[in-house]
Structure 1
């Protein structure tokens, strides 16, 4: 599996092996899959290669992880009934891997326009021109070229600048966040989280024993600054986790930055959608807070595509423990692929791609808005998204959203119920809906099914 030029694409072979393994499973049995280390030894690949393949399978809904237990899967043809009502996320994963489903629960902007082909072409060119210089060598935090490109990307001025040594690259976003939770010692600590929040982040925090304090956004997607101030003053908050997108109006961000500084609170900024803000002139909270208490994380996958699943972290501090944890994880990331990503930054190809992707995402959002108004105008309230690939919707009538979810599953449509985005059940009347969709289904039919499901799930 690890011979010649194919070594850097070993994850593809692991992926195919896992697909065959999953499809051999009896349809009425939930099966635990081999551990990362066991599978790496069996297939003679690195652990990070296996982790990469598992992350792709998890994104596709073919496998799911259970804290302190491992990965589990059922074959694609298996019914979804194995999942308990207690774990809605398992039900969602089971639905997405059924054939013929219209999956509108995902947040995958690059599905609309990816750079996968350009990335792989750059890899081939680099390997052909400089085969000897591109031999793998140990750089556990990521190769220097990519870290330098990221540092330059985030540098705003002489005082708000980053160096390559401040950047850490891992096999995927999950691995990077797990390291960060460990290094910051967040077990038992209070973390203030902008809500709604991605379910991957919430589950990682919960499984690590973090006390999550949610600061919910209103229906327009804005944080309540007065409530934020109250929580910061009354709770012993160690860290505030906010997205880089427009959760705070520009005129309120300086006040929020001052609040964080007054309370001695670190800002962990989720920049997953930062490159996908429709207005590229947007300024972020990170541009205002104390750089000495700032951490930023993101992933290339959202804006490049699935061939670039790496996660990354920016931190001016904690360099020794971060380097130690990355070394212990022994991420053996493809140096060629990292160099290819760095080239996308350096030659301007990424900026060109982002301009096109933002335009397409905005056009798709406007298109989806038209469908929502036409079919569901009185049943749902929402604000237009300012970034990314999803709408955050609220039912104007009281409904059982789980019942709505199940009703749509039976009609081959998958949505993401709002309760997945909170640890305390804040959003029973909400759902997330992607406006990036393929042409294999009629969106008219999907909207009709959603309208019918909301009517079916109505309470009272």
Structure 2
């Protein structure tokens, strides 16, 4: 990797090598791993690259270090699936975080091409420019430079413009959504969500004792206009939750005519809209009008996260709102997020210097290629037993079994083989989508995906018999 071959992502290759090495040990005893210098010579990379890969594994609990002795692999835990106390989502979460699992349940598009190296490089440069003694105290709802960059990015016309004071940044998306639920006083209120819906949103609303009404999308991915109007008339709907462009987990979007009809209906009823904008920049095709450009900005709240496009080094969530200024400021002050000012400045510079847009061009291309490859494998392996919506963006595929099968049993059967899938029922509070599942196609290699799909085919066949 040296001599022109060592890139900013060399540590990822080292990380994968070490993960494979640890898994192959297959020992219950603690085994000493190669030293930094041994690995640097073996893999032809710098010692600092080896050090960084080891530090990632140490954070994950895969290795530990002893001063003047080196790094040791922790024993692999039992591969018996861990039960989440009967809660399917908890069982998924617990098993997805165990070492050695092949996780097909994730929705992490940036994993295929993270922007962590440019982000961390910018952060180091900014640390030299802004030594700690010269740094201003953290701002309670985010650094002004980043809020200004986001406001400019979301402004599309004089009528649909945003200011820095309309933007609020939190530690992560969950924290921001919890603040929104509190700021909007949603406890006991009726909230209408398009369905299927992100399980994190559903669980947060359920935990806050919100009355959630699910609006199932049509097979085409469009929102049923008549059903929506019926609910707006018959129910005291406080808020409607919509995807900006791509619905997740379907990874598809409705046609322009359907979206405009929905916007007109919501405008007519004066309904507040909460727009999920986490995926709009991951659509494979350009030119899709987001809902916020069709709706009254005075009755609109937008939320999103950097993590889907930049990666795990930028976990922050954010919200844009014109009308909730005092309420949001109060709740952000109460929450007292402790965010890195320098990391936020670095993200802002990625926007201002155009690096984000360059990155998105590459990320969308890689995701599209991954989706094409994965759907081809699905046709070859499972074309007679599964149907799916052709992904129009993002990193996942929404799949339906053409034969009646207990996907919970399939889920647990695959867990025993160290494979984690996301059953469709997780995306509904009403138990819908029992014949669906969501898989990531951005697994990192066609060989891995082929192996996993073979196991999925076997599990489906056994549960059908």
Query: TM-score, with normalisation over the residues of structure 1?
Result: 0.81
Structure 1: gaps (5+ residues): 1-55, 63-74
Aligned pair 1:295/2:322, yes or no? no
Displacement of 1:254 after TM fit?
1.8
Structure 1 residues 446 and 138: alpha-carbon distance in aligned structure 2, compared to 1, 3 A threshold: closer
Q: Secondary structure at the match of 1:442?
A: helix
Displacement of 1:445 after TM fit?
1.8
Report the equivalent of 2:84: 83
**Which of residues 358, 364, 384 is equivalent to 1:358?**
364
1:333-412 equivalences in 2 (<5 Å): 333-412=339-418
Q: Of the two, which has the highest radius of gyration?
A: 2
**Over residues 162-194 of structure 1, what are the superposed CA-to-partner deviations in whole Å (9 max), with x where a residue is unaligned?**
000000000000110000000100001010001
Structure 1 stretch displaced more, 134-143 or 146-155:
134-143
Question: 2:138, 2:341 within 8 Å by CA — same for their partners in 1?
Answer: no
**Over residues 96-152 of structure 1, what are the superposed CA-to-partner deviations in whole Å (9 max), with x where a residue is unaligned?**
133322111000001000111111110110111232685141410101100000001
Displacement of 1:223 after TM fit?
2.1
**Which of residues 325, 331, 353 is equivalent to 1:325?**
331
Structure 2 CA distance for aligned equivalents of residues 227 and 438 of structure 1: 40
Question: 1:381, 1:395 within 8 Å by CA — same for their partners in 2?
Answer: yes
Report the equivalent of 2:99: 99
Structure 1 residues 450 and 399: alpha-carbon distance in aligned structure 2, compared to 1, 3 A threshold: same
Report the equivalent of 2:129: 129
1:420-431 equivalences in 2 (<5 Å): 420-431=426-437
Structure 1 residues 179 and 134: alpha-carbon distance in aligned structure 2, compared to 1, 3 A threshold: farther
1:166-177 equivalences in 2 (<5 Å): 166-177=166-177
Structure 1 CA distance for aligned equivalents of residues 364 and 444 of structure 2: 17
Structure 1 residues 94 and 61: alpha-carbon distance in aligned structure 2, compared to 1, 3 A threshold: farther
Q: Secondary structure at the match of 2:110?
A: helix
Structure 1 residues 309 and 189: alpha-carbon distance in aligned structure 2, compared to 1, 3 A threshold: same
Displacement of 1:385 after TM fit?
1.2
How many corresponding residue pairs?
A: 389
CA RMSD of superposed structures (Å): 2.1
Structure 1 residues 221 and 77: alpha-carbon distance in aligned structure 2, compared to 1, 3 A threshold: farther
Displacement of 1:261 after TM fit?
1.6
Structure 2 CA distance for aligned equivalents of residues 61 and 274 of structure 1: 34
Displacement of 1:454 after TM fit?
1.3
Report the equivalent of 1:200: 200
Report the equivalent of 1:28: none
Q: Secondary structure at the match of 1:457?
A: helix
Aligned pair 1:316/2:322, yes or no? yes
Structure 2 CA distance for aligned equivalents of residues 300 and 76 of structure 1: 33
Displacement of 1:410 after TM fit?
1.7
Displacement of 1:453 after TM fit?
1.3
Displacement of 1:61 after TM fit?
12
Structure 2 CA distance for aligned equivalents of residues 232 and 408 of structure 1: 41
Report the equivalent of 2:420: 414
**Which of residues 249, 255, 262 is equivalent to 1:256?**
262
Displacement of 1:90 after TM fit?
1.5
1:244-283 equivalences in 2 (<5 Å): 244-246=244-246, 247-283=253-289
Query: TM-score, with normalisation over the residues of structure 2?
Result: 0.80
Displacement of 1:279 after TM fit?
1.3
Question: 1:134, 1:336 within 8 Å by CA — same for their partners in 2?
Answer: no
Question: 2:81, 2:415 within 8 Å by CA — same for their partners in 1?
Answer: no
**Over residues 393-430 of structure 1, what are the superposed CA-to-partner deviations in whole Å (9 max), with x where a residue is unaligned?**
11111110101111111222111000100000011000
Structure 1 CA distance for aligned equivalents of residues 61 and 276 of structure 2: 23
Structure 1 CA distance for aligned equivalents of residues 151 and 133 of structure 2: 23
1:143-292 equivalences in 2 (<5 Å): 143-246=143-246, 247-292=253-298
Structure 1 residues 133 and 276: alpha-carbon distance in aligned structure 2, compared to 1, 3 A threshold: farther
Report the equivalent of 1:118: 118
Question: 1:102, 1:441 within 8 Å by CA — same for their partners in 2?
Answer: no
Displacement of 1:289 after TM fit?
0.7
**Which of residues 438, 451, 465 is equivalent to 1:432?**
438
Structure 1 CA distance for aligned equivalents of residues 183 and 162 of structure 2: 20
Structure 1 CA distance for aligned equivalents of residues 455 and 230 of structure 2: 42
Structure 1 residues 133 and 99: alpha-carbon distance in aligned structure 2, compared to 1, 3 A threshold: closer
Structure 2 CA distance for aligned equivalents of residues 76 and 263 of structure 1: 57
Structure 2 CA distance for aligned equivalents of residues 371 and 316 of structure 1: 46
Q: Secondary structure at the match of 1:302?
A: coil
Structure 1 CA distance for aligned equivalents of residues 321 and 197 of structure 2: 22
Structure 1 CA distance for aligned equivalents of residues 164 and 316 of structure 2: 16
